[in-house]
Amino acid sequence: MAALPDPLWRPFPGLSDYAGTVAAMEAHVERMAAGAAAEEIWLVEHPPLLTAGTSADPAELLAPGRFPVHPVGRGGRFTYHGPGQRVVYPMLDLGRRGRDVRRYVAALEAWAVAALSDCGIEAGISEAGTGIWVETAEGLRKIGAIGVRVRRWISFHGLALNVTTDLGHYDAIVPCGIAAFGVTRAADLAPNVTMARVDAALRLNLPVLMHSLSAPEPPRIKTLEAHPDCR
């Protein structure tokens, strides 16, 4: 079978309205399922807001009313989106790329880890929870969240990486339900990390994502040990 072409790369300038972006993403997924649109990867930033996944626990919303809350159909609990955070929405045809959602999540993790490595940040996965993690002087910290949804074997939602994010905004929630570990951002871990640099690293490492979906073995990603006493 001939190799599939890479998806269209679409960065969106400015801050993108969350509800409008999700509606546009779902419409694109429907067009893809009907064979009327190609695969795309959207790169956006949102204004400050919270999303509540299908497993969101109201007790983990620590500051009700501080930010708008958007219920979403993806898996996961409460997450934060805001300026300085790169949100990536890959809309891929998993029906032609293996029909393996776990492999897809692992491919997203491998892609993010490779991109951060190019920015001088060593990251990995952890038994502490889903997403992308780093070891800091303060202990294990989460730098990226993953929450995906698949409809008719088309993926949407996706990946969020903290680049220059205001980490104080995370005080509004227990991020992803993980109370024992904090969050961090790329700008605090490596010199001169900007959104443009992270975007360039993601684009450069796109083959990691695409290859990981079709490789005989799932990607191997460094696992960082979780120490429950880290706060």
Identify the band that residue 74 occupies on the pLDDT scale cut at 50, 70 and 90: confident
Level-2 CATH architecture, domain 8-224: 2-Layer Sandwich (3.30)
Identify the band that residue 231 occupies on the pLDDT scale cut at 50, 70 and 90: very low
HEC secondary structure over 4-37: CCCCEEEECCCCCCHHHHHHHHHHHHHHHHCCCC
Measure the N-to-C terminal CA separation of the chain; round to a whole number of Å.
50
Give percent of the chain above pLDDT 90: 79
> pLDDT averaged over the chain?
92
Predicted local distance difference test score (pLDDT) of residue 230: 36
Mean pLDDT for 40-50 is: 98
| Tokens standing for residue 146 | 């993953």
Whether residue 228 has pLDDT greater than 60: no
Q: Is 176 a catalytic residue?
A: yes
Whether residue 191 has pLDDT greater than 80: yes
Predicted local distance difference test score (pLDDT) of residue 54: 82
Among candidate residues 176, 178, 201, 224, the one labeled active-site is 176
Identify the band that residue 175 occupies on the pLDDT scale cut at 50, 70 and 90: confident
| Per-residue pLDDT reduced to its tens digit, 1-39 | 467 899 999 999 999 999 999 999 999 999 999 999 999
Mean pLDDT for 52-61 is: 88
Give percent of the chain above pLDDT 70: 94
Predicted local distance difference test score (pLDDT) of residue 195: 98
Whether residue 129 has pLDDT greater than 90: no
Cα–Cα distance measured from residue 94 to residue 33, given in angstroms and rounded to the nearest whole number: 11
Residues 134 and 189 sit within 8 Å (Cβ to Cβ): yes
| Per-residue pLDDT reduced to its tens digit, 79-100 | 999 999 999 999 999 999 999 9
SS3 content of the chain, % helix, strand, coil (to 5): 30, 30, 40
Cα–Cα distance measured from residue 134 to residue 146, given in angstroms and rounded to the nearest whole number: 15
Is the pTM here over 0.75, yes or no? yes
Mean pLDDT for 174-187 is: 82
